[in-house]
Structure 1
Amino acid sequence: MLHSHSEAPFHEHVFKSTHIRSELDPHNYTSGRWLRDDKNERDMRYIGFDFSALCGRILELCPGAGSISSCEKIEGGFNRVFIFTLNNSKRIVARLPFTLAGPSQLTTSSEVATIKYLQVKTSIPIPTILDWNNESSNFIGSEYIIMEHAEGVQLHQKWPKMSSSARVKCIDAIYRTLKEMVDLEFPACGSVNFDWRLQADFKKLPLGDVFCVGPHCAPWYWNCNTSEPRYYHNTHPNQGPWTTLDKYSDGLVDASISRIPPCDSAAEKRASYHGSVQAHLDLLKHTRSVLKQMCADPRIQAAATPTLFHPDLQKRNIFVSEDDPSKITGIIDWQSASIEPAFWYADEVPDFATPDDFENNVCAKAFDACSRFSTPKLSGPRLMDENIFRPFIYSYRTWKDGAVGMRHELIETTQRWNELGFKGSSPYVLPSPSELAQHRREYKLFVAAQELKHDLASLLNTATDGWVPPDSWEATESAHKEVFDGMLTAVLTNKNPDDDEPVKDEVVLRSIWPYDLPS
């Protein structure tokens, strides 16, 4: 709900919080830089708003406090968080979304609606929302959510000192807590929102009270990222909600088509596996046909129950009791929560269940057992052959990944059609032997590009998208150039590359290099 506030009291609080602003930059992204498209990445995370007004509103909401003692700025990929500590020791959290988080107004109202819906329907501990506004024209100058700080301590702080038995007990508590949410039933896939908040031209299905299932707020359905513009000359916006799985799959394919420009001005710089505009359009036409036939399969229908689940279930988003870490005191970061077919979550493994050593192997087994017992709707698809769902998972991003990745999924699915349990034959016609040989060459280069990205991230100690902490920027940028020069020298001095070698010259190396390079 939009709130109307008098601006009269704000000047009384500004002077009490002036020192806070001098200690941090509330507007610019300062938590890191990117080795690829750095300026644009940071520009998309700039928020122009009135920080003093935000401070004033925090104090208005906490009448027992007289001033703000400190403020911590935390930045994620899609929002900026300010944690205010007041002079009475109370902590308040303000979250402001970046434009690339999703559609304006809808993203904020959906997050609030999802939290309030869960607070009505479940006992999941989620911090109380004190105030919110989903119009950037408000007195603060940005959409925002102000909420109480979660009780307890983040699980990742307690995890290293917890015994195996304590970790297993904690995992069991997490899934017993989330069981209530997974058991909820929904009439469609999309995003939870307020019935009365949606514009008349948006589709919606009622959930009772003031809630509904409205359009899906994931950024890939909207034109909110300047790095990935949308074009609707070949398709119409298709953002849901979707009442059937085949309509949901149409939404994925339409999202992929909307990324394809009328003309690819950067074609010469792209890797050979990327594919032309027409190649993508043809590929997605086949993809739509294959997905529709797969959607009719009873096994996939059973694994596609509309399900709401946490979008990023990691240790940093789970709060536990300081004295008893098996007691869940809060779960935060619901910004991207959405209702998806249950199989959409099948390949997601939280960081507390990654089997990379003996301790975590125990945790992986506990995760599997607890998920099966408490959330069978999610564990059921996980037990199925993952190749059954891969065409769905990759169908919305072919222009970003390259046509060869989706083509590979169609070829693999078609070749294994009956082995995967599908009846009849796949509507996709396999390429000719010569076309298949060309595909295999392109796919080998595609795999090499993915391996290069992950190897560089490990070598340079960066995220795979090239994100670098600010204190490491200069050293990382220099190391990045040295690594490229070294690899280029190796390519240029290899006069007789093997036939199996996908990177044979400088042009190919530059085409698959994931980060920015001088011309």
Structure 2
Amino acid sequence: MGGYFSSDCRRMHQTRRDLQDSKHDLEALHRYTSCRWLWNEHQQLACRYVKFDMSRLLELAASLIGSKYCVEAVKVSEGQYNKVFLLTMNDGREVIAKLPNPNAGRPCFTTASEVATMDFLRNILHLPVPKVYGWSSKASENPVGAEYIIMEKQAGVMLSDLGALYYKDDLPAMLDTSSPLYVDRDGKEVHSAKFGIGPTNHRSFFDFGRGELNIDHGPWSTPAEFMIAIAHREILCARARLRYPLMPEGLFYGPRQYQPSSSKKLSALHNYLKVAPYVLPDNRATLTSVLWHGDLHLQNIFVDPGEPTRILGIVDWQCVSICPLFTQVTCPGFLDYNGPAPEGLQQIHLPGTP
């Protein structure tokens, strides 16, 4: 899936003609090539197209880890939001280059937050997260011409086989970052001179045209402020006549199904605002803001092939948000079971149920 370049054109002095003359289509590395759409395909492909200078990316990656040049570049993953390349150097070392698509989130903020989050998880919380060798969140200010993250290749094999975190230097000067960043295992508040909480990068504040609206992205001080901001976000969307999801020919809005209107949405949202502060959970623990990985499927968890219960790394920290626990907790994807129901499986009777 994707592009591959043979070793004879991977040199530090390579030219763009070298790349164009390789046996595979260079342009395919910029495009989304994994699937097709039944509707709005031009729009879907456009929001997944990334223009960048491959030769500069390879040179940069080699220099970051002290190698001479890259001998092979393979597009190893192409999800909905990123292009991921495995780069192999002349000395056999391997790194991962990750470039976000335009639909990945807010420009600059998404990459800046992802890198800061990975740094915090790896070096402060000591979780198994890949090391970042180099990155840029400003496409216009780097030679690659696109946002990128160069990181170590995660060891092991895939398990299948209230805001967001930033560096303080990337946050607006007027933003108050004096509050404690987190509470440690002993219950002590911890301040940080390096990290701070800034605007959320949750995709619900960006997808389906929301990124074009003047929406409050936080950060917020209380769960109530967060819940109210969500309502105001949806009010702006309703007034802007945004439709969700952008697939009217699909499973939604079909014959004899619910037909939403702006007036119905606005009425429901204004009623929600009246009760939102009063329906929050009573349990204070569920109101605690947590940093939560919301996409723990089998391909994002790497384990030791000789000891599969030992986790070596967790990847894909893009658009991870800090939100109240009760809004974050979900059943992780790696626990999903889609096979046939085992014979003899019966309904579990909980205590106190008939």
- Normalising by the smaller structure, the TM-score range is 0.7 to 0.9
Matched, 1:351 2:337: no
Question: Contact 1:47/1:142 (CA < 8 Å) preserved in 2?
Answer: yes
CA distance 1:79–1:263, change in 2 (3 Å): closer
- Map 1:402-417 onto structure 2 (within 5 A): none
CA distance in 1, matches of 2:225, 2:72: 51
- For residue 12 of structure 1, what is the aligned residue in structure 2? 13
- For residue 274 of structure 2, what is the aligned residue in structure 1? 289
CA distance in 1, matches of 2:227, 2:307: 43
Secondary structure of 1:12 counterpart: coil
CA distance in 2, matches of 1:202, 1:209: 14
Of 41, 44, 48, 1:45 maps to: 48
- Map 1:206-245 onto structure 2 (within 5 A): 206=179, 207=181, 208-222=192-206, 225=207, 227-229=208-210, 237-245=215-223
- Map 1:81-480 onto structure 2 (within 5 A): 81-137=84-140, 138-157=142-161, 189-200=162-173, 204=177, 206=179, 207=181, 208-222=192-206, 225=207, 227-229=208-210, 237-262=215-240, 273-295=258-280, 297-299=281-283, 301-354=284-337, 356=339
How far residue 195 of structure 1 moved from its aligned partner, in angstroms, is 1.0
- For residue 186 of structure 2, what is the aligned residue in structure 1? none
CA distance in 1, matches of 2:55, 2:148: 14
CA distance in 1, matches of 2:96, 2:177: 30
How far residue 155 of structure 1 moved from its aligned partner, in angstroms, is 1.3
- The one-letter code of the counterpart of 1:302 is A
Secondary structure of 2:264 counterpart: helix
How far residue 11 of structure 1 moved from its aligned partner, in angstroms, is 6.2
- For residue 66 of structure 2, what is the aligned residue in structure 1? 63
Secondary structure of 1:298 counterpart: coil
How far residue 256 of structure 1 moved from its aligned partner, in angstroms, is 1.3
Q: Deviations over 1:228-254 (max 9, x none)?
A: 35675xxx6211112211101012112
Question: Contact 1:113/1:211 (CA < 8 Å) preserved in 2?
Answer: yes
CA distance in 2, matches of 1:203, 1:31: 43
Q: Which runs of 5+ in 1 are unaligned?
A: 1-9, 158-188, 366-382, 384-519
CA distance 1:349–1:244, change in 2 (3 Å): same
Could you state the TM-score of these two structures normalised by the residue count of structure 1? 0.55
- The one-letter code of the counterpart of 1:81 is V
- The one-letter code of the counterpart of 1:156 is S
Q: Deviations over 1:21-50 (max 9, x none)?
A: 835522111111112321111100111111
How far residue 211 of structure 1 moved from its aligned partner, in angstroms, is 0.3
- The one-letter code of the counterpart of 1:192 is L
How far residue 322 of structure 1 moved from its aligned partner, in angstroms, is 2.1
Question: Contact 1:257/1:281 (CA < 8 Å) preserved in 2?
Answer: yes
Could you state the TM-score of these two structures normalised by the residue count of structure 2? 0.79
Question: Contact 1:320/1:328 (CA < 8 Å) preserved in 2?
Answer: yes
Q: Which runs of 5+ in 2 are unaligned?
A: 1-10, 182-191
Q: Deviations over 1:297-333 (max 9, x none)?
A: 523x431211112121111111111211122111111
CA distance in 1, matches of 2:108, 2:67: 31
How far residue 124 of structure 1 moved from its aligned partner, in angstroms, is 1.3
CA distance 1:282–1:122, change in 2 (3 Å): same
Secondary structure of 1:52 counterpart: helix
Secondary structure of 2:97 counterpart: strand
CA distance in 2, matches of 1:84, 1:230: 32
CA distance in 1, matches of 2:70, 2:16: 9
CA distance in 2, matches of 1:204, 1:357: 51
Name the structure where strand makes up a greater proportion of residues.
2
Question: Contact 1:190/1:240 (CA < 8 Å) preserved in 2?
Answer: yes
How far residue 64 of structure 1 moved from its aligned partner, in angstroms, is 3.4
CA distance 1:196–1:318, change in 2 (3 Å): same
Question: Contact 1:13/1:56 (CA < 8 Å) preserved in 2?
Answer: no
- The number of residue pairs the alignment matches comes to 314
Secondary structure of 1:325 counterpart: strand
Root mean square deviation of aligned Cα: 3.1
Question: Contact 2:177/2:197 (CA < 8 Å) preserved in 1?
Answer: yes
CA distance in 2, matches of 1:51, 1:292: 50
Question: Contact 2:58/2:70 (CA < 8 Å) preserved in 1?
Answer: no
